[in-house]
Chain A
């Protein structure tokens, strides 16, 4: 089962880990966008989650509390965005970009004393020795709890959007906020909840990066993953399972190209480094190339300010 120096089982196991931050951020953004809010601040919320989680985990010694704090911290930032966009009717694109810049700045400030420290390691779940099984063991039964959580979130998002009243109201608000308001649904309430959920997910993704993947704090460590998450949501036509596909594709190519670099393949490092971005976007563009069908699934009120006028 070995191709040169690359072990496919380890490759799959590690691509799931590498993809999880993007998957979490993208599924959160999917919910926010389905409610009609375009939050370009994913990158900022991710890195604030990364630093908050890191600080709390180091201070308390508990990775669990770190993740909770990461979700809360990023949600606070998202709440700021919600207030500006929903109540002060500021432009969503500009506010989102501002949120990213603000997040990058404040995270660098908060993390000043924490560069070069190792965070407490979080335990892996071992399913009664199932992780010893060949092939499926390392892939399915020896992952970090957050990897399972991210997969559960994808399934839950799909189910909630498709079959529950809550999901229907969310889609309705994103499709036409005026009609939803006329029928008596709270446009602002729904959108605040969706934005906060999006923030919490992005924060978890960021903390997974700083506490598990790297694990260390460095300035700007999210390195554009928030933007990739945004792109994945659009090119996945706002479908949860395609978001999963996009995120794993990105994570997969990332891990593969690192392995190829390590194996000393004669391809310029620069090309290998850009390959995850290129390949992910290329594949998703091809999937969503039927423009009419993609437009059908796009929330029609996306990015439009809602002001209840009577």
Chain B
């Protein structure tokens, strides 16, 4: 390998109360695919933001293509030859594809010319895209194509990809990897951020591992096992969640022909969704983000009403009941968005406990809240689920993502629901907290509850579900036993490659 394209020397960035990056050094070779590994909060995002000119380092230096490099803005980074695909999309829903691409370029050609070039490049790399479509109407996979094409049009020397595959089906991941390998063969270096270890093992040639803002190691991921990589990231041994043997009981939740329209113009319509879950069973629902997950959770929790018969709890139709009535008869739900949906950010944990558990735990009397009981219940949740917080009086906002997630899930589980529906139970949660949340879900099923887990993390679903089904454009595939499903089969259930093709040439 020749001289590295990007060298990072002792970069440090501190925020009030936390050192995001502490003396980080590594380098990316020319034409190398280099992985940046680490748990949430390890400092990966801050690091790439410094490379992309969004954040100024407190100290340390970088060189890019043999010249000192200290970008003061993303514009400067782009004109030096760095392009970035963001984790949370940096797209504008109400603008069309060409306009979105133009916004990410320094000197975009006139719109008509740009549209032609988008067609050319998208054809060459097998990422078909219509420049005139509104981004809000595109699927998650298609949106990512917009981001990638925006980068490719600038002929970058270094492409930064922040968690690019979290929204793709396995087939789409395959095609993305072929595109990346083609780029690599053309001499482009790629800095690849992910916590999906198998992907990194198949794609990357070098890896730098971050933990709590520090570089804790580097390795060739092809020579390590996924478990070894994970333990380097976490720094301890990992426990695998286990489930005691048990027999499923009668059907607890039955959904038949559920059709629901979303409230927002860019939402997904649920079309004729049917499934049933028995007591003690866990149904895992996979699928790429934006294919109806939020709507399905809303329709099950009671936030969105449906035909009375479409949702049945223990044979009783509940489609027209609101969330509190459903909680009362034993259907609990934990939505994906922790702050603002599952919990009110500025209210204390006690108040947040009351909001969900008032009915089932009798936390009120004659319209007045029984604060002592409420505090006891909140403390019970904190204790049972190992939520790290100074006390139940703390605001939900003050908790870290993983701790709040444990609280939110614990709050529902401790009400011993007959049916528990959860969306993205371990999203943005560190590995050890994720393992304990999965264990709690397994234990709940063993205790006889029916559980529906909606998640985009296929490994998670394979680990805990008895049945697997996939959402694709608002339709649900027939549930199949999770044991023995191959990644290919799962990918096809999720809708396959959504019209993507393998890179031409």
Contact = CB atoms under 8 A, between A and B. Distances in A.
Given A165-B108, A172-B95, A176-B92, A182 B103 contact: no
Interface in B371-405: none
Contact of B92 (A163, A172, A181, A295): A172
Nearest to A163: B111
B46 A183 contact: no
A296 B86 contact: no
Contacts of B53: 184
B94 A183 contact: no
A175 B74 contact: no
Contacts of A310: 15, 46, 49, 54-55
A184 B46 contact: no
Contact of B95 (A175, A181, A184): A175
Interface string A60-83: 000000000000000000000000
Q: Is the interface of A mostly helix, strand, loop or mixed?
A: helix
Nearest to A309: B15
Most A C-beta atoms less than 10 A away, residue of B73, B94, B99: B94
Contacts of B89: 179
Contact of A175 (B77, B88, B94, B104): B94
Contacts of B73: 184
B318 to A, nearest CB: 29
A171 B92 CA distance: 9
B461 interface: no
Contacts of A176: 91-93
B13 to A, nearest CB: 9
B75 A184 contact: yes
Interface residues of B, number: 29
Interface in B146-191: none
Interface in A156-174: 163, 165, 168-169, 171-172
B273 interface: no
Contact of B91 (A168, A169, A179, A292): A179
A181 B88 CA distance: 13
B349 to A, nearest CB: 23
A168 B96 CA distance: 11
B90 interface: yes
B54 A179 contact: no
B265 interface: yes
A172 to B, nearest CB: 5
Q: Is the interface of B mostly helix, strand, loop or mixed?
A: loop
Contact of A168 (B75, B93, B99): B99
A10 to B, nearest CB: 43
Contact of A184 (B74, B94, B134, B136): B74
B95 A182 contact: no
B102 interface: yes
Contacts of A181: 54
Given A168-B102, A295-B265, A296-B265, A182 B54 contact: yes
Interface in A175-232: 175-176, 178-185
Contacts of B103: 168-169, 172, 180, 183, 185
B420 to A, nearest CB: 33
A183 B111 CA distance: 19
B90 A183 contact: yes
B93 A300 contact: yes
A122 interface: no
A297 interface: yes
A145 to B, nearest CB: 34
Contacts of A184: 53-54, 73-75, 77-78
B80 to A, nearest CB: 13
Contacts of B93: 175-176, 300
A153 to B, nearest CB: 23
Most B C-beta atoms less than 10 A away, residue of A176, A185, A310: A310
Contacts of A185: 103
B34 to A, nearest CB: 22
Contacts of B99: 168, 172
A59 to B, nearest CB: 45
Contacts of A297: 94
Contacts of B104: 183
A295 B103 CA distance: 22
Contacts of A165: 102, 108
B74 A183 contact: yes
Contacts of B49: 310
B285 to A, nearest CB: 28
Nearest to B20: A310
Contacts of A180: 92, 103
A175 B96 CA distance: 12
A182 B92 contact: no
A172 B53 CA distance: 20
B102 A179 contact: no
A43 to B, nearest CB: 29
A296 B94 contact: yes
Nearest to B103: A172
Contacts of A295: 265
B146 to A, nearest CB: 12
Contacts of A163: 111
A182 B102 contact: no
A179 B90 contact: yes
Nearest to A295: B265
A308 to B, nearest CB: 9
A183 B106 CA distance: 10
A249 to B, nearest CB: 27
A179 B49 CA distance: 13
Interface string A79-96: 000000000000000000
A295 B95 CA distance: 13
A183 B92 CA distance: 11
Contacts of B134: 296
A123 to B, nearest CB: 41
Contacts of B92: 171-172, 175-176, 179-180
Contact of B94 (A169, A178, A300): A300
A151 B53 CA distance: 42
A291 to B, nearest CB: 8
Interface in B26-64: 46, 49, 53-55
Nearest to B89: A179
Given A165-B108, A168-B102, A175-B95, A182 B86 contact: yes
Nearest to B111: A163
Most B C-beta atoms less than 10 A away, residue of A171, A183, A292: A183
Nearest to A179: B90
26 contacts: A163-B111, A165-B108, A168-B95, A168-B99, A168-B103, A171-B92, A171-B94, A172-B99, A176-B93, A179-B90, A179-B92, A180-B103, A181-B54, A182-B54, A182-B74, A183-B74, A183-B90, A183-B103, A183-B104, A184-B53, A184-B78, A185-B103, A292-B265, A295-B265, A297-B94, A310-B46
3 tightest Cβ-Cβ pairs between the two chains A and B: A184-B74, A179-B90, A175-B92
Given A165-B108, A182-B54, A310-B55, 6 more contacts: A169-B103, A172-B99, A178-B88, A300-B93, A300-B94, A310-B49
